[in-house]
Structure 1
Amino acid sequence: MNYVFDVDGTLSFNGTSISAEITAGLKVLEKHGHHLIFASARPIRDLLPIVPEFRHNLLIGANGAIVSQADTIKVMTPIAIPDRDYLKTLITHYNLEYVVDGDWNYAAHVSPDNLITKQLDSGHLAHNVPLEQITTAIKVILLGMADQQLEKIVRLVTDHTNLELVQHVGEGNLDLTAQNINKANTLALLGIHDYIAFGNDMNDVKMLSQAATSFWVDSKSELLEQAGSFARTIVAPNQVAAVIRQLG
């Protein structure tokens, strides 16, 4: 069986590592012949350091925009050039904090106290380059926006681009990828239709909705009320390892 796992807030709760107990459970699944897939909002560059023991598995990064399998990296669909240029205009005009991911390097302007800094190239595998040097953008995150500004930016992006949007409730962040790029669609493009999925965030909703069985990890309490509409089972963070062991 294919098992698809989101990472942050699903398997990792500190932004830097996965516990030994959860890792052991994952290895048992693999030992029993199951295929483990890791599907994250992180680009491959930032996914590799947190799943070092599974680096040769199928990794889906940037919410589906890029994949890695057996150390071969492939961009699924980059952000179209007009949409990329429009986002650059918004960033400049509204002085927005951002992370713009290329196929490997990135451009970032982020407040030092933002939690994303713990995840951003923690393995020192890439370079933070000037924004104009990112010619192929696979994902853009706009961060730290107040509610009113977030609403305005969402409206502008919706009206002027064809981008896929994921708005993070209560965080003031907006994830942007090319049209129709998300974890579920990338799994389908890779021929993976039958799978069990674990997730915890808005960027997991479509994947969980299309899974044969789905588990919602309740690490974001503000989303719990919605979870029942797209996930079959609710799991507390401290129960994740036990649930994985039971599946093995």
Structure 2
Amino acid sequence: MDFVFDIDGTICFDGKTIDSSIIEALDELTKCGHDIIFASARPIRDLVPVLPAQLQKGKLVGGNGCYISEDGKITTNYFHPAVIEPLHNLIQTYQLMYLADGEWDYSYTGSQDHPIYHNINQSSARNRLFTDLEKICKLVLFNPTKTVLEEIAQLPVSVTAYKKENAIDISPLGVNKVHGLNRLHVTDFIAFGNDSNDQCLFENAKYSVCVGDHHVQEYASMTITKEQVADTIIKLGKDF
């Protein structure tokens, strides 16, 4: 069975590390013959440094499906130039703070205190001008107004809202974590997640686990606390 794990708020709670008990549980899954896939809002650039070395070259879904990686080879989805132009115009017109992720480098104008900024792998990527990124795969807008949301709704894009961060995540139309899994030929899976971008996982999983008290828990098979993650991984590894 394939086990799919979100990262932040699901198995990583400080933005940088995964608790040793959870790593041990993941190792137990592989010993039982299960395959592990990580599916995160982070691009592959920022996802890999959090993972234990033995799992970094497995199947990965990054940027909510905009990136996939297998055996260390990364492929991307990115916005058509005809979509980038109105998005860039919105940013300029309303002076929006943002994070634009290219194929590897990025463009960031938000607060340096924001958790998203701390999760960027700045040692291997450059913060460049928006217009210097040849291909933009994903865009996060901070504090969008109602007018901005209404204008974005007219564009051929997929949008995920993060209420706690007061931000929206914009991807090419039809791209989400399940889209990324399908590109990796993963269709039958157990899912662990905790936020809006994991709803698609919960809706398509054979069995699903929501970590923490979040509005998406209504779509999950069960809800647990972060202290129960390792034990739940081991139990489901035996049950399936």
Q: With structure 2 as the length reference, what TM-score do the two structures score?
A: 0.95
Q: Distance in 2 between matches of 1:150 and 1:246?
A: 44
**Structure-2 residue corresponding to 1:74:** 75
Measured in 2, the distance between the counterparts of 1:201 and 1:34 equals 24
- For 1:65 and 1:190, the matched residues in 2 are separated by 12
Matched, 1:171 2:172: no
Kept in 1: contact 2:36–2:59 (CA 8 A):
yes
CA–CA distance in 2 between the matches of 1:47 and 1:211?
22
1:25-40 equivalences under 5 Å are 25-40=25-40
Give the 3-state SS of the residue equivalent to 2:111 in structure 1: coil
Instruction: Give the conservation status (yes or no) of the 8 Å contact 2:112–2:118.
Output: no
Structure 2: stretches of 5+ with no match in the other structure: none
Per the alignment, do residues 52 and 129 of structure 1 end up closer, same or farther by CA in structure 2, a change over 3 Å counting?
farther
Counterpart Cα distance in 2 of 1:30 and 1:181: 28
Determine helix, strand or coil for the equivalent of 1:36: strand
Question: Equivalent residue for 2:141?
Answer: 142
TM-score w.r.t. length of structure 1: 0.92
Q: How does 1:1-248 map to 2 (within 5 A)?
A: 1-53=1-53, 54-75=55-76, 77-121=77-121, 124-143=123-142, 145=143, 149-159=144-154, 161-218=155-212, 221=213, 223-224=214-215, 226-228=216-218, 230-248=219-237
Residues 131-167 of structure 1 deviation map (CA, whole Å, 9 limit, x = unaligned): 1111201000011x1xxx43222111012x1000001
Q: Distance in 2 between matches of 1:198 and 1:151?
A: 31
Q: Following TM superposition, by how much is the alpha carbon of 1:238 offset from its aligned partner in structure 2, in angstroms?
A: 1.0
Contact 1:150 1:172 in 2 (8 A): no
Q: Structure 1, residues 67-114: CA drift from partner, whole Å, max 9, x if none?
A: 111111111x21111111211111111111111000111111111221
1 CA distance for matches of 2:196 and 2:127? 27
Deviation at 1:13, TM superposition (A): 0.6
Distance 1:25 1:157 in 2: 41
Aligned amino acid, residue 29 of structure 2: L
Letter in 1 for 2:149: V
Counterpart amino acid of 2:227? N
CA contact (8 A) 1:196 1:213 kept: yes
SS in 2 for 1:138: strand
Amino acid at match of 2:7: V
Q: CA deviation at 1:190?
A: 2.7
Give the C-alpha shift of residue 246 in structure 1: 1.6
Identity of matched residues, %? 33
Moved over 3 A (4+): none
The residue type equivalent to 1:131 in the other structure is F
Conserved? CA contact 2:3–2:191, under 8 Å: yes
Structure 1's unaligned 5+ residue stretches are none
Contact 2:43/2:62 (CA < 8 Å) preserved in 1?
yes
